[in-house]
Amino acid sequence: MNAIKKFFAKVKELFIGANAKADAYFGWVLRYIPDAFPIIEYIAALTPTMLDDAALVLVRAKFPKLFDPDLTEDEKKLYLLGVAGELLKQKYPALSTTAARIAVQVAYGVKKIGDWLA
């Protein structure tokens, strides 16, 4: 986990520089990335039949086109990352949508890099 934090600290330095508010915000979001990993794993393995009815109703209400058979792979990924962000927000209600989506997107990126390196 330290290697991941060091990597993103370097990325943060490149993009944020001396902007103290942005630096503080990015540091705050970094704390949630480890909690996003299990959600990403869950979403990656998710199929509609694995969802219980109540969760499926909530997901369909928030993301009505998620199970549209005409979606492209990129559109499906976009929706599933949105669902993952919502699940992280449920775990941390004070977390903003933006922060949850950043944490989920970074966790997904790290997972993909790990899959690629494996």
37 in any annotated domain: yes
Q: What are phi and psi of 26, to 5 degrees?
A: -65, -40
pTM value > 0.85: no
13 in any annotated domain: no
54 in any annotated domain: yes
Q: Domain range spanning residue 97?
A: 31-117
Establish how many alpha carbons lie within 13 A of residue 44's alpha carbon, considering only the half-sphere containing its beta carbon. Answer: 14
93 in any annotated domain: yes
The tens place of each residue's pLDDT in the chain, 118 residues long, gives 677 777 777 666 666 555 666 677 788 888 888 888 888 887 777 655 555 666 667 777 888 887 788 888 888 888 888 888 988 888 899 999 999 999 998 888 887 777 666 5
Among 39, 6, 33, CA closest to 106: 33
Domain count, the chain: 1
23 in any annotated domain: no
